[in-house]
Copies of this chain bind each other. A is one copy, B any other.
Amino acid sequence: MKKVAIIGVGHTKFGRLNDKGLMDLLCEASLDAIEDSNTTNKDFDSVYVGAMSPGAFNQLSGVASALVDKLSLLPAAADHIKNGPASGGSAVKAGFQAITSGMSDLVLVVGGEKMTHITTPGYVTSNVATLTHPKVERRHGVSLPSFAGMLTRAYLEKYNAELDWISDIAIKNHRNGTLNPKAHFQRTIEDFMKSAIQKGKGNWDDIYDFLKDDKTNPIIADPLRLFHICPISDGAAALILCNADKAKEYSESPILISGIGQATDTHIVYEREDITTLKALRICSEQAYKMAKKTPNDIDVAELHDAFEILEAVQSEDIGFFKKGEGAKAAHEGLTEIGGKIPINPSGGLKARGHPLGATGVAQVVELVWQLRGEAGKRQVDGAETGITCNFGGFGNNILSILVERM
- Chain A residues in contact with chain B, CB under 8 A? 1, 52-53, 55-56, 59-62, 64-66, 68-70, 73-84, 90, 93-94, 96-103, 127-128, 130-131, 133-134, 260, 262-268, 279-280, 283-284, 393-394, 397-398
Q: Point out the residue from B60, B99, B127, B398 that lies within 8 Å of A64, measured CB to CB.
A: B398
17 cross-chain CB contacts under 8 A = A56-B56, A61-B128, A62-B131, A62-B397, A65-B83, A65-B267, A66-B267, A68-B264, A69-B266, A75-B280, A75-B284, A77-B93, A77-B264, A79-B81, A79-B83, A100-B101, A100-B102
- A102 CB contacts on chain B under 8 angstroms: 1, 100
Q: Point out the residue from B64, B83, B260, B264 that lies within 8 Å of A75, measured CB to CB.
A: B264
- A266 CB contacts on chain B under 8 angstroms: 69, 74
Q: Point out the residue from B61, B73, B131 that lies within 8 Å of A52, measured CB to CB.
A: B61
- A52 CB contacts on chain B under 8 angstroms: 61
CA distance A78 to B68 in the complex (A): 25
CA distance A69 to B269 in the complex (A): 11
- Nearest to A67 among chain B residues (CB) is B267
Q: Would A264 and B65 count as touching, CB distance under 8 A?
A: yes
Interface centre among A1, A264, A265, A393 (most CB of B within 10 A): A264
CA distance A134 to B60 in the complex (A): 8
Q: Would A84 and B100 count as touching, CB distance under 8 A?
A: no
- Nearest to A51 among chain B residues (CB) is B82
- A56 CB contacts on chain B under 8 angstroms: 55-56
Known A53-B55, A75-B283, A79-B83: A130·B60 in contact at CB below 8 Å = yes
Min distance, Cβ A54 to any Cβ of chain B, angstroms:
9
- A128 CB contacts on chain B under 8 angstroms: 61
Q: Would B98 and A65 count as touching, CB distance under 8 A?
A: no
- A53 CB contacts on chain B under 8 angstroms: 55, 61
- A82 CB contacts on chain B under 8 angstroms: 61, 64, 79-82
Known A59-B130, A65-B84: A75·B265 in contact at CB below 8 Å = yes
Q: Point out the residue from B61, B90, B99, B280 that lies within 8 Å of A84, measured CB to CB.
A: B61
Known A75-B280, A103-B97, A103-B100: A394·B62 in contact at CB below 8 Å = yes
- Nearest to A81 among chain B residues (CB) is B79
Min distance, Cβ A137 to any Cβ of chain B, angstroms:
11
Q: Point out the residue from B59, B76, B81, B130 that lies within 8 Å of A62, measured CB to CB.
A: B130
Min distance, Cβ A100 to any Cβ of chain B, angstroms:
4
Q: Point out the residue from B74, B77, B96, B393 that lies within 8 Å of A262, measured CB to CB.
A: B77
CA distance A96 to B262 in the complex (A): 17
Min distance, Cβ A355 to any Cβ of chain B, angstroms:
16
Give the top 7 A-B pairs by smallest Cβ distance, nearest first: A77-B262, A100-B101, A75-B263, A65-B398, A80-B82, A97-B101, A101-B101
- A134 CB contacts on chain B under 8 angstroms: 59-60
Q: Point out the residue from B68, B94, B99, B133 that lies within 8 Å of A79, measured CB to CB.
A: B94
- A260 CB contacts on chain B under 8 angstroms: 103
Min distance, Cβ A132 to any Cβ of chain B, angstroms:
8
Q: Would A74 and B264 count as touching, CB distance under 8 A?
A: yes
- A96 CB contacts on chain B under 8 angstroms: 101
- A76 CB contacts on chain B under 8 angstroms: 263-264
- A93 CB contacts on chain B under 8 angstroms: 77, 79
Interface centre among A61, A81, A94, A264 (most CB of B within 10 A): A61
